[in-house]
Amino acid sequence: MRLSNDEALRLLNALRSGTTPLNNAKSLITGRDQECHQFSKDLTSLTKGSGLVRLVVGDYGMGKSQLVNTYKHMALEEDFITASFQINNGFRLNKIDDLYYAIMHNLFLKHQPQEKSSFNEIFDLWIANLQTSPIADRKRYEVNTVCQEISKYNMNFARAFLSFMRGRIQRNTEMINVTGAWLTGERNIPFELKAKYGLTGSVDKANTLDFLKAFIKLITLLDYQGLVVFIDELDLVLNDRSDLRQTAYNNLKHLTDLAASGEMPGVMFVFSGTNDVIAHEEKGILSCPPLAQRMGLTPNNTFDGRHQNVIALTGLDASALFELTSKIVKLYTQVHGRMDALNEHELYVKALSDFGDPPYNTRQFITTLIRHLDQK
């Protein structure tokens, strides 16, 4: 699909500054056909009841972020809800009880892929259809049916969702806000408001994964395909204290087991980070043998062919870099008008001449190429 001139300009400016474009990343993806094909198969697997964990690793500048952004686009286009956030001071992998909260406050939907969506917005289309249904009892029947299904995962979640739906249908703003906050993991809700709407307890370490299972079941009942969660900066775990780091790895192992066993169908976790995550024997995943085994990792950094959990990116080869050159030249020409002096092969050779032997850093190649284009 051809980008508009404004989209092309924004994309070119992002590339010029060395920033991975959040939008339209798929239009520039090059040399990653195998990885994209596998991800497409993964999405199909989710719709059939599988759960998956994937780890994307690569050195800085190898195109890791661009591939992950392409994955996000692919998931949204296939009607999955996505969540996207980083490991930082707001979320640490050693605190699994914060996972649900982080997911629920970083949701994205197909109709507005560039902006976070609220919990409320997930149900807009469903409620609109219920409101306009010619069948008088359809609202009550469908809401009750959904609540019965999610009560199998957590009864408190189902009760709160029933109150949330009543608030939406009755246009009761307070009921919507209070129950919606509780359902998305807020803990600081005044007791009197919780009591008013029959809310019991809150999301904690003991029930956070049950809440997540209930949410996944809920969205699939609303005809979303499932949930894909993208968590970046996994390598920050290496900076944690050894006990916290091992807890984080054990949590990752637990998520992997839940996904593989079928206990958490319809969800895929895509973690990303630098190669240190798998290469650092003292602090990386190799320091947690049970997790390393599940990821198919061995101490010499070879991969068990039976596993596809780890996607290790290397630099693009010469043909892929030339294809990337062609795409950027076309993008540049669209933004700046026809430029007869542009010669793709000449620009490609000039950009490569600034580097030594492969593997080539993709980000540096792009910024170098655009610098040569700017000098034309």
| Cα 114 to the center of its chain, rounded Å | 13
* Mean pLDDT of the region 168-177: 93
Please determine, for residue 223, whether its predicted confidence score (pLDDT) is greater than 50: yes
Of 104, 331, 136, 93, nearest to 232 by C-alpha is 93
Phi, psi of 309 (to 5 degrees): -70, -35
Q: Looking at residue 307, what is its pLDDT? A: 54
Task: Name the amino acid, one letter, at 93.
Answer: L
Per-residue pLDDT reduced to its tens digit, 250-293: 999 999 999 999 999 999 999 999 999 998 989 999 999 999 99
Estimate the crossing angle of helix 344-353 against helix 362-374, to 10 degrees.
Answer: 120
Q: Looking at residue 303, what is its pLDDT? A: 54
Q: Looking at residue 287, what is its pLDDT? A: 94
| Distance from C-alpha of 131 to C-alpha of 135, rounded to nearest angstrom | 10
| Distance from C-alpha of 141 to C-alpha of 148, rounded to nearest angstrom | 11
3-state secondary structure of 71: helix
Task: Name the amino acid, one letter, at 5.
Answer: N
Residue ranges of domains in the chain, CATH in brackets: 1-30+316-376 (no CATH), 32-86+94-117+229-312 (3.40.50), 120-208 (no CATH)
Per-residue pLDDT reduced to its tens digit, 303-358: 544 457 999 998 888 889 999 999 999 888 888 876 666 688 888 888 888 777 76
Q: Looking at residue 129, what is its pLDDT? A: 78
Model's pTM, two decimal places?
A: 0.92
| Distance from C-alpha of 161 to C-alpha of 218, rounded to nearest angstrom | 10
Please determine, for residue 210, whether its predicted confidence score (pLDDT) is greater than 80: yes
| Distance from C-alpha of 69 to C-alpha of 331, rounded to nearest angstrom | 19
Beta-carbon contacts of residue 351 (< 8 Å; ≥ 6 apart) = 325, 365, 368, 369, 372
- Side by side, which strands form the sheet with 227-232? 107-108, 81-86, 227-232, 267-273, 52-57, 310-312
